[in-house]
Amino acid sequence: MTPDPAPTVRQLLAFYLEAGVDCALTEEPVDRLSEADTAPAIRTAAAGEPAQARPARTTPATTLAAPAPRHEIAPAPEAAISSAREAARTAPTLPALRALLENFDGCALKFTATRLVFADGNPQARVMFVGEAPGRDEDIAGLPFVGRSGKLLDRMIAAIGLDRTSAYIANVIPWRPPGNRTPTPQETQICLPFIQRQIELVNPDVLVTLGNPSTQTLLAAREGIMRTRGKWFDYHTGTRTIRAMATFHPAYLLRSPSYKRLSWQDLRSIAKALEPHSRSLENS
């Protein structure tokens, strides 16, 4: 039996692409197996401020003297989560929060993403949409929802008479997971304090979670999107209670267009809640 011929470079690249491996992280290959089992300190300072270097809980003292290069090892998740909580709390404004995230080294996704995808739209908006995590197009543009699903989100927002000048858009995770893989629970927990603070600072009247991951993360919903969508939740921003509704993620609607009808129903409820006489729970 003659062995299969070795794959061509083109075939190998096609294989990688299909597996979601669509970007090179460094110029040179890295032998991960030879790396020491250590975690670096977490940098959380805002841009221009001195970094508050703190050892991760499991970090031996020697690691601080010779930290691993920034892109190589993520800090221990528990240390990163508490560092994220502490950092997010201190951001007084959205630009400060953005600067904080730019300097936060606690989430490994930062080192594989091209750039931070913080938000798009109007920070004064009365409605805020939150998706899961940026994809390839967003990673390149540095803006959320600019690809195919973003075009559909624009149409969904237009259905309630708004656009990106009158709505605010962000994601639970502000860095693209490599190959668009699902973020790990740890990555989500590390990023959670930042999106919670972002919601608090935008202070919308209505929060719309797009799809299951952002609904389960932000609204602590246990059931799937089929059951949670279209219902009103109370969301505590930290300073007040606002109304929140889950609807389908536009990427899901692109795959399953028959659900657009239900999504349009959700959007009608959202539009109603945004009518001038409709007040937030806090005032009712």
Residues that bind ligand URA (CB under 6 A): 131-135, 138, 144-145, 149, 171, 251
CB-nearer residue toward ligand URA: 41 or 245: 245
CB-nearer residue toward ligand URA: 204 or 213: 213
- Adjacent-strand bridge partners of 241: 236
Dmax over CA atoms of the chain, in Å, equals 78
CB-nearer residue toward ligand URA: 189 or 215: 215
CB-nearer residue toward ligand URA: 109 or 133: 133
Closest contact distance (angstroms) between CB of 138 and ligand URA is 4
CB-nearer residue toward ligand URA: 59 or 168: 168
Closest contact distance (angstroms) between CB of 185 and ligand URA is 17
Closest contact distance (angstroms) between CB of 143 and ligand URA is 8
Asked if residue 29 lies in contact with residue 49, where contact means CB atoms within 8 angstroms, the answer is no
Residue in the shown chain whose Cβ atom is closest to ligand URA: 131
Closest contact distance (angstroms) between CB of 20 and ligand URA is 14
Closest contact distance (angstroms) between CB of 168 and ligand URA is 13
Closest contact distance (angstroms) between CB of 231 and ligand URA is 21
CB-nearer residue toward ligand URA: 43 or 176: 176
Q: Which residue in 154, 162, 92, 168 sits closest to 123, CA to CA?
A: 168
* Sequence-ordered list of residues with C-beta below 8 angstroms from that of 196, at least 6 positions apart, any chain: 88, 218, 237, 238
